[in-house]
Amino acid sequence: VVKLSKNFDILSVTKVGHTPCDIAFAKGKAYVVNRFSSDISVISVSDMTVMSTVEADGREPISAVAVGDNIYVACHLPDESTKESVMSANLNIISASTDKLTKTLPFVNGSSGIKDICVSPDGNTVYVSHIVGRYAYPTTQLDRAWINSNCVSIVDTKFQTIICSVLLDEVDKGAANPWGVTVSSDGKYLCVALSGLDEIMLVDRVKMHSRIDDVVNKKSSALVSSADVIVDYLPFLNNCRERIAVGKGVRAITEKDGILYCGLYFDGRVDAVNLSDKKVTSLSFTSQPEANEVRKGHILWSDATLCYQGWQSCNSCHPDAVVDGFNWDNLNDGLGGGGKNTRSMLYSHRTPPVMSTGIRADAEIAVGAGMKFIQFNTLDEENLIYIDEYLKSLYPVASPYLNKDGTLTESAEAGKALFEQNCASCHPAPLYTDNNLYDVGTKHFSGDSGEYDVPTLNEVWRTAPYMHDGSMNTIEEVVRYFSKNLSDTEVAQISDYVRSIGAEGEYYAAEQIRGTAADGSSFYNKYQSGAVLNALVVRKQSASASDAVATLVIYDKDGEAVHTSDYTFSELSYNESYVITFAEGLKLPDDGSYTISFREYGSDKLLASTLTVK
The DSSP result for 149-199, as a single string, is EEEEEEEETTTTEEEEEEE--BTTB----EEEEEE-TTS-EEEEEETTTTE
> Does residue 336 or residue 213 have the better pLDDT?
213
What does the angle CA 184 – CA 190 – CA 192 come to, to the nearest 5 degrees?
110
- Tell me the pLDDT of the chain averaged across its residues: 95
Element (H, E) at 65: strand 59-67
Q: Tell me the average pLDDT across 149-158.
A: 98
Over range 371-391, report the average pLDDT.
Answer: 95
pLDDT at 81: 61
The whole-angstrom separation of Cα 538 and Cα 346 is 16
| Residue 322 confidence (pLDDT) | 97
d(CA 98, CA 369): 52
> Nearest 5°: phi and psi at 262?
-120, 115
Q: Is the pLDDT of residue 82 over 60?
A: no
C-alpha angle 307-309-310 in degrees, rounded to nearest 5: 55
Q: What is the pLDDT, as a whole number, of residue 510?
A: 94
User: Cis link prior to 20 (omega < 30° from 0)?
Assistant: no
Residues in contact with 407: Cβ distance below 8 Å, sequence separation at least 6, in sequence order: none
pLDDT band at 305 (very low <50, low <70, confident <90, very high): very high
CB 358 within 8 A of CB 473: no
Residue 550 CA to residue 282 CA, distance in Å, equals 48
Q: Which spans in 302-434 are helix H?
A: 314-317, 363-373, 381-392, 410-422
Q: What is the pLDDT of residue 444?
A: 75
Burial of 70 (0-12, 13-18, 19+ CB in 10 A): buried
pLDDT of residue 154: 98
**Residue 120 backbone dihedrals phi, psi, to 5 degrees:** -70, 155
Tell me the per-residue pLDDT of 536-557, one tens digit each, with 9 for 90 and over. 999 999 999 999 999 999 999 9
Torsion, Cα 229 231 236 241, to 10 degrees, reads 160
Spatial distance between the Cα atoms of 400 and 413, rounded to a whole number of angstroms: 15
Of 478, 454, 499, 368, the closest CA to residue 37 belongs to 499
Whether residue 287 is predicted with pLDDT greater than 70 in this model: the reply is yes
Which H or E run includes 73? strand 70-77
Look up residue 19 and give its DSSP letter: S
Report pLDDT digits (tens) over 105-131.
Answer: 999 999 999 999 999 999 999 999 999
pLDDT for the residue 272: 98
Query: Helix, strand, coil % (nearest 5) of the chain?
Result: 20, 35, 45
CA 336/CA 572 separation, integer angstroms: 46
Between 194-198, 318-322, 495-499, 501-505, the lowest mean confidence (pLDDT) is in 501-505
pTM above 0.85, yes or no: yes
In this predicted structure, the answer to whether residue 448 has a pLDDT above a threshold of 60 is: yes
Predicted local confidence at residue 447, as pLDDT: 66
Give Cα separations from 574 to 348, 538, 546 (angstroms): 20, 11, 11
User: Looking at the predicted structure, is the pLDDT value of residue 339 above 90?
Assistant: no
Read off the pLDDT band of 85 (50, 70, 90): low
Spatial separation of the C-alpha atoms in residues 469 and 514, rounded to whole Å: 31
Cis peptide before 428 (omega within 30 of 0): no
Q: Residue 83 above 60 pLDDT? A: no
Compute the distance between CA of residue 520 and CA of residue 526 in angstroms, rounded to an integer.
15
Q: Is the dihedral of CA 444, 446, 447, 450 positive or negative?
A: positive
Q: Is 127 helix (H, G, I), strand (E, B) or coil?
A: strand
pLDDT at residue 68 above 90? yes
Average pLDDT over every residue of 587-611? 95
Mapping DSSP onto H, E and C, the string for 282-337 reads EEECCCCCCCCHHHHHHHHHCCHHHCHHHCCCHHHHCHHHCCCCCEECCHHHCCCC
Residues 170, 160: Cα–Cα separation, whole Å = 29
Torsion (CA) 56, 57, 62, 66 in degrees, nearest 10: -70
